[in-house]
Amino acid sequence: MQRQRLGRGLKALLGDFELSSFKYAELPLDSIEISDLQPRIEKKEGISDLVESVKRHGILQPVLVRKTSHGRYRLVAGERRFIAAKMANLKSIPVIVGEWDDKTAALVSLIENVQRKDLTPIEEALYYKRLRESFSLTQDEIAVIMGKSRSHIANIMRIANLPDRIQKAILSGIISLGHAKALLSLKDEDLMLRVFEDVVKNSLSVRDTEKLVKSLKSKGKEKLRELQIKGMPNVKVRIKEKGKKVKLSIECTREELKELLERLNA
């Protein structure tokens, strides 16, 4: 598959194959298995409305599957419809059978799921991370594939670097994506977790969290100054200030150090 075609989304991927390589079918549900390429984490969350719709109207849009080597079928896209059909006690489901390899199937699944906009930020971040690692795609290429800005892809992917506790809090809605972005600017994981606990305990808004993080970062910054000693132009004195502590660093010859010590003793 050529990368320049990826930006046209699912239609571009389907267009890489001859129309004759696809066929419409009605397959028994028990002949289809869910692929581990599916990005969704909370598979049954918010699915009750879809189940009721399936009971009344059936499956209106076919799911995408591919045939396995042992004669069964593996789901490529449409997992929520597949799960809803099972929960509605349907015996079969309409499908489009295509010939995809693992890499193409993963891309099709990603595009179909993310473009439906029902993935959580954590699910989106983890799937972009897998896409980058599995296909060696850059953030720019992922942005083109998904039709999103590079900054959106970069911000979402950074979520995957958060500690598990914070990821779970985002997933469960305890904190928002805005809180997560503020926490990500703290490089120290222990400090990040302490701030996270404060955010949850005190129900801090995103703006309050940003202010707290900013104040903590400013306290931790070192201030670096250079000092020139009168009469000793070649002596370099650097002063590092961090909080209430001050550190001096002196670069000089042995003779200059001797003179400097004599001045200090005087």
- The four Cα atoms 98, 101, 104, 108 give a dihedral, to 10 degrees, of 40
Q: How many residues are given for the chain?
A: 266
Q: Residue 243: which residues within 8 A CB-CB, separation 6 or more?
A: 219
SS3 readout for 100-144: CCHHHHHHHHHHHHHHCCCCCHHHHHHHHHHHHHHHCCCHHHHHH
Pair 103, 145: CB distance under 8 Å: no
Active-site residue list = 79
Distances in whole angstroms, Cα of residue 27 to Cα of each of 38, 96, 106, 251? 20, 10, 22, 79
Reference 43, options 86, 89, 9; nearest CA is 86
Reported in sequence order, the residue ranges of the chain that DSSP labels E, i.e. its strands, are 23-28, 32-33, 63-67, 73-77, 92-98, 223-229, 232-242, 245-251
**List of residues 6+ apart from 7 with CB closer than 8 A:** 144, 145, 147
Return d(Cα 171, Cα 189) in angstroms, integer. Answer: 19
| 190 alpha-carbon distance from chain centroid | 20
Name 75's bridge partners.
65
